[in-house]
Copies of this chain bind each other. A is one copy, B any other.
């Protein structure tokens, strides 16, 4: 089988896809159309003259291209274009995590109904073959746990902060390097990673989650001092996307967490992505590599095209709607910044005890003034909501110099010292 490919969106990833197709000329994959608004300014001399450049999606739809590659991004109009292509029996390949997280189940259904295929290997972890690995290499396991570093921008920021840099400075660097948008909320507040976690959960845990149901926490509240205290616990801090089946329930959350330094997740540096998949039969498998960037992401797109050209359809593994809870039973790290006076620890202990939460340890570094004294309490496994109730009780204490920061501690493989 040979496929004729139309690329929608000739931006960072779209132009890399065209570049790889022109360089490697994979057998059975022919680039026929490139679609973009104001397409004239996009024309590149290295694209063969046989390729049609167009500003009209209808022209693409009416053409003999039988696969569209959607790299426009966003829900609208990209979603509408994918839907119309599938309804016309054309297969689609996309890197649009937002679209697949929100509408993947429905689009999969439309594809099936029209004898088409929908591939989105590029939507999660760019050039790392997590999705094909899960669909073709781990379908024979029962996956019960996912832990991932799914946002390269957060990982760049946190791994630089680990080395001593300040949040604001690193964010500025990330923006000037093109890793972060002018408005970084999508990345730092966890929305980008959450969309990817929804997609992975569907494939690995066979659970359809509603995006909004997964609690997110921002990394903007992490300060340099937190890396110092994390270090005392043999941990670092990373933005972790986590989902786990426990009994019939599904736990999922995205946000900064303490990660033990002996965990592979702590070894990720820079914009690297990493995904850990825990299976009942095969144990833990880890994937890592470049999660973003035009070329790595384009590798995933071109790989999907090659799979299609070999006549392979989707591996449809049945998934079902699942309720999400963020109530992992985990140890927590709580950083207080207080105006020092006697009795504070007693009040904190009392508030925690009221929710049956046991203190595990207390850390206080020297060298801070009495007016703004940071110290850390770690607690035995408890749920987020129990901890929230406990902290609410002391939220108006006059000795609090700022609201406390609580972070889950990723279950270590060996007990924390």
Q: Which residues of A contact B (CB under 8 A)?
A: 16, 20, 23-24, 26-27, 121, 126-142, 264, 267, 279, 281-290, 295-296, 298-307, 310-318
How far, in whole Å, are A130 and B289 apart by their CA atoms in the complex?
14
**B298 pairs with A140, CB closer than 8 A:** yes
* Across-interface contacts of A302 in B (CB, < 8 A): 139-141
**B281 pairs with A298, CB closer than 8 A:** yes
What are the 6 A-B residue pairs with the smallest beta carbon separation, nearest first?
A129-B137, A140-B302, A127-B282, A132-B136, A132-B137, A285-B289
- When all copies of this chain in the complex are counted, the total is 2
* Across-interface contacts of A130 in B (CB, < 8 A): 137
**B288 pairs with A282, CB closer than 8 A:** no
**A121 pairs with B137, CB closer than 8 A:** yes
Cβ distance A291 to chain B, nearest Cβ, rounded Å:
10
How far, in whole Å, are A315 and B315 apart by their CA atoms in the complex?
14
Partner of A141, one of B127, B135, B281: B127
Partner of A128, one of B285, B290, B307: B285
Partner of A137, one of B16, B142, B300, B318: B300
From known contacts A127-B141, A139-B306, A298-B140, infer whether A282 and B286 are also in contact, taking CB-CB under 8 Å: no
From known contacts A24-B142, A139-B307, infer whether A286 and B284 are also in contact, taking CB-CB under 8 Å: no
Interface centre among A26, A129, A264 (most CB of B within 10 A): A129
From known contacts A306-B315, A307-B136, A312-B315, infer whether A141 and B285 are also in contact, taking CB-CB under 8 Å: no
Partner of A136, one of B136, B288, B311: B136
